[in-house]
Amino acid sequence: MARLAGRRMLFALPVLLVVTFGVFAIAAASPFDPVKAYAGTAALGADQETLDRLRDNLGVDQPLTARWWHWLTSALGGDLGQSSVMRQPVAQVIGERLVWSSLLCAIAFVLAVLTGTLLGVLAAGRPGSMLDRTVTSLAYALEAAPVFWIALLAIWLFALQWDVLPAGGLTDTASEQVTLDQVASHLVLPAGVLALSQLPWFTLYVRQGVGDALAEDPVRGARARGVSERTVLLGHALRSGLLPVLTLIGSRVPELITGALLVESVFSWPGIAAATVEAATAVDFPLLAALTTLATAAVLIGNLLADLLYGLFDPRVKLSEM
């Protein structure tokens, strides 16, 4: 495990370098002017000399490679720079928002895995039944539905029509402090919607994996020996059927992050979505690079975790060969 993790870390370093340089290159080619975005409406009445001086203070007139190298060396020293659009240090911007994004993603991911596993096992246990066809049809329908459309539908149904859950935000409008009860109630809709967007993949993978395991000779032999169907399903087929799901964990991280950004925007959840959008439109180089590096690191860690889990749970795979 240590050797595998070490090899992946060595591979991750050049990937992160290329990604951060790509962010600066794309931002430099953007038609948005970071100086005008920083100045806001004040830029409309400012003369060219003032704009040039502001451009020099922000450092956006430097060459692309110089900006990237300055940010990289500062980041390695623990300084992620100053966000021009947020008027705060980048580390503070991310620190204030990352905890809420992590909470949303973690709860949604756990819900998707547990619910998808349950539905997949139930469907695989009765292939061709009404339950199997219903679960499969709903999974394909959810897979085709855009996450923002599901979010808007959830707000319309649960917040506007039934008025049982808040439509967005972290706490109630009149509340002066963040309480656990309010956070929990405001988290239900965004976490549920994000979980629904990931649910089809886990459901279909578990159904296929468990269904294939039920058709194997050892499982048929267990049935022939009179082993109960529940023991066959949960004790034999489920373990083999869940192995493909472990590889799915890493591949779903990028879409989970993308879905979380959309869900946070729709529900006004105080995560990194708003900071990402503002950083992109204002061409905020330091914040863009930090957020992109964070997302890339999350994807790499997800893939590493999937490989480690697969090697631990499948005795046929040796971690030293991965």
Per-residue confidence band for 317, with pLDDT thresholds at 50, 70 and 90: low
pLDDT for the residue 68: 87
Tens of pLDDT, residue by residue over 125-134, are: 888 899 999 9
Over the stretch 164-213, which tens digit does the pLDDT of each residue have? Answer: 999 888 887 766 677 888 889 999 999 999 999 999 989 998 898 888 88
Mean pLDDT score, 67-74:
87
> What percent of the chain has pLDDT above 70?
90
Mean per-residue pLDDT, 4-22: 83
Higher pLDDT, 194 or 40: 194
Q: pLDDT tens, 229-258?
A: 777 777 777 777 777 777 777 778 878 888
The mean pLDDT of the chain is: 83
Token output for 34: 């970071």
Does the structure show a pLDDT above 90 at 267?
yes
Domains observed in the chain: 9-89 (no CATH), 97-281 (1.10.3720.10)
pLDDT at residue 26, rounded to an integer? 82
pLDDT for 137 equals 94
pLDDT band at 40 (very low <50, low <70, confident <90, very high): low
pLDDT of residue 276: 83
Higher pLDDT, 37 or 285: 285
Q: What is the pLDDT of residues 140-162, one digit of tens each?
A: 999 999 999 999 999 999 999 99
- pLDDT category of residue 313 using cuts at 50, 70 and 90: low
